[in-house]
Amino acid sequence: MSAANTDSDTPKTDAPNTDAPNTGSGATYTPPKVWAWDKENGGQFSKTNRPTAGHTHEQELPVGKHKLQLYSLATPNGVKVTVMLEELLAKGITGAEYDAWLIKIGDGDQFSSGFVEANPNSKIPALVDRSGKTPIRVFESGAILLYLAEKFGAFLPTEPAERAECLSWLFWQMGSAPYLGGGFGHFYRYAPERWEYPINRYTMETKRQLDVMDRRLTDHEYIAGADYTIADMAIWPWYGALALGRVYDAAEFLDTKSYRHVMRWAEQIDAREPVKRGRMVNRTSGDLSEQLHERHDASDFEHRTQDKVQEGVGTEKIG
Ligand SMILES: N[C@@H](CCC(=O)N[C@@H](CS)C(=O)NCC(=O)O)C(=O)O
């Protein structure tokens, strides 16, 4: 296995590697003294995975009419932020109006000079708040959720114990999801071959994490307690989607139905209207009526989904 085939904590939008042969634990690899990048052996994501940071091409980011500019894609990490923004708007917080621009990570948009200025880590989501004299950039989905919660005074408890619980679960997600995405999802669904050892290792950890959540949700309506918070918004796009069978086609393999409280919580959040809207923003796969490639106005959900816009009309491209 090539070391260049490392992956971020994301389910990619590319087609899964369903034809991967099953390989037992016999694969061997002797690392050389100094690792060298084998570009040709990068697996499904060799076009975007590379061992260096920085931009690959000059391209400014577009700027729309609102104070908040989001550069993203509807992967679980992206959905966290669009759900939060739609939840804030549903609460009547008009300052949360935003422009959401599409970043096609499969095409390398995250490596443009403009995007790297917004996020030196070259991963969606990235937010730029242009409310003040100097634009404020925020990257890392957890930091963006916290930034928005503090800016608008919503979805983050103020009472110290409740706030600590909420932040603990928020950061639990940030630390745990890479085992689910970059570990389980990668080896179960996307790796060029199916190796028993990593699949076992990450399945074990993923099931342990689901059990952590299930126990917590047995006697709490939401993950941080009685209220719906940014912790739910961070966790649901990953573990809710997993439970509902939307990522990695792994619900049966992981027996997610047996985590009854996780299922109840996942379905409850799935039914929220702002969550339904948040899931549509920057989505480029699935039902055309649920794909809103870019969002610049609340009315876009009605008029600019992919089933309604003609080819080349209603979408603005980056680059
Ligand atoms: N810890 C980061 C992870 C972000 C991340 O992994 N984003 C993925 C999509 S979900 C990405 O942009 N990947 C592009 C790449 O790896 O080149 C966060 O939560 O914001």
The 10s digit of each residue's pLDDT in 12-64 is 544 555 566 665 555 688 999 999 998 766 566 666 789 999 999 999 999 99
State how far the Cα of 101 lies from the Cα of 115, in Å rounded to an integer. Answer: 11
The 10s digit of each residue's pLDDT in 202-254 is: 999 999 999 999 999 999 999 999 999 999 999 999 999 999 999 999 999 99
CA 47 → CA 2, 55, 106, distances in Å?
14, 14, 8
Residues with a CB atom less than 6 Å from ligand 1? 8-10, 48, 75, 77, 105, 110, 122-125, 140-141
Which of 9, 144, 180, 186 has most ligand 1 atoms within 8 Å of its beta carbon, as the pocket-test mutant? 9
Q: Domain locations in the chain?
A: 160-274
Q: Say which CATH architecture domain 160-274 belongs to.
A: Up-down Bundle (1.20)
The whole-number pLDDT of residue 316 equals: 42
Residue 107's contacts (CB-CB under 8 Å, 6 or more residues apart) are none
pTM for the full predicted model? 0.91
76: CA distance to ligand 1 center in Å?
A: 9
Beta strands 126-129 and 68-72, pairing class: antiparallel
Closest C-alpha residue for ligand 1 atom 13: 123
The 10s digit of each residue's pLDDT in 93-132 is: 999 999 999 999 999 999 999 999 999 999 999 999 999 9
State how far the Cα of 70 lies from the Cα of 103, in Å rounded to an integer. Answer: 10
- Residue type at 194 in one-letter notation: R
Q: Count Cβ neighbours within 10 Å for each residue of 134-154 and write b for 16 or more, e otherwise.
A: eeeebbbbbebbbbbbebbeb
The 10s digit of each residue's pLDDT in 129-149 is: 999 999 999 999 999 999 999
In order, the DSSP letters of 23-88 are E-TT------SS----GGG-GGGTTT--S--S-SB--PPP--SSSEEEEE-SSHHHHHHHHHHHHH
92: CA distance to ligand 1 center in Å?
A: 30
The whole-number pLDDT of residue 48 equals: 79
User: What sign for the dihedral angle of Cα 98, 99, 105, 109?
Assistant: negative
Task: Mark out the alpha helices in the chain (DSSP H runs).
Answer: 76-90, 113-118, 141-152, 160-178, 196-218, 230-235, 241-243, 251-254, 260-270, 273-280, 300-303
